[in-house]
Amino acid sequence: MIISIASDHAGYELRQKVVAHLKELGHEVLDGGATTADEPYSYVEAGKKIAEDVLGGKADKGIAICGTGIGISIVVNKYKGIRCGLCANEYMARMCRQHNDANVLAFGARVVGQAVALAMVDAYLTEPFAGERHAVRVNDIKAMEEEFYK
């Protein structure tokens, strides 16, 4: 699987650990965003990179990291066709795939530790979309996008 991952400066160090984990699992990684934890880098630019990679077909899924995960999740969710779940634990990561067919996972480097982050990544990448009644809701979201996105 091809994963687009990016972060701001606050998420830089955790992103490095997630990237290494993804590569160990055999995934191809499109890594972007901050190049150091010491120089400010906008979560807006990091989020744009992920959304554009996923929507452009360069990546199958995305992982977005900033300090809290809030800012970057707002950014990627501004894109029509992105369903980003902001998660704080493994259960939420599993449910964002199973119930919402999320194509981007977001979390905060200042909110979750490395072990939780890696567990969320594993759950997110392996959990299938449940479909059925959940597909109805995802299709409702898509219909809303068609109506309201200009």
Closest of 6, 83, 80, 78 to residue 42, by C-alpha: 6
How many residues in the chain?
A: 150
Residue in the block written with tokens 């890594």: 31
Whether the CB-CB separation of 67 and 110 falls below 8 Å is answered with yes
Residue 99 known to be catalytic: yes
Residue 134 known to be catalytic: no
Closest of 66, 36, 37, 63 to residue 51, by C-alpha: 63
CA atoms within a 13 Å half-sphere pointing along the CA-CB vector of 117:
27
Q: How many beta carbons lie within 10 A of that of residue 147, not counting itself?
A: 8
Active-site option among 9, 66, 87, 96: 66
Active-site option among 21, 27, 99, 134: 99
Q: What are the residue numbers of the active site? A: 66, 99
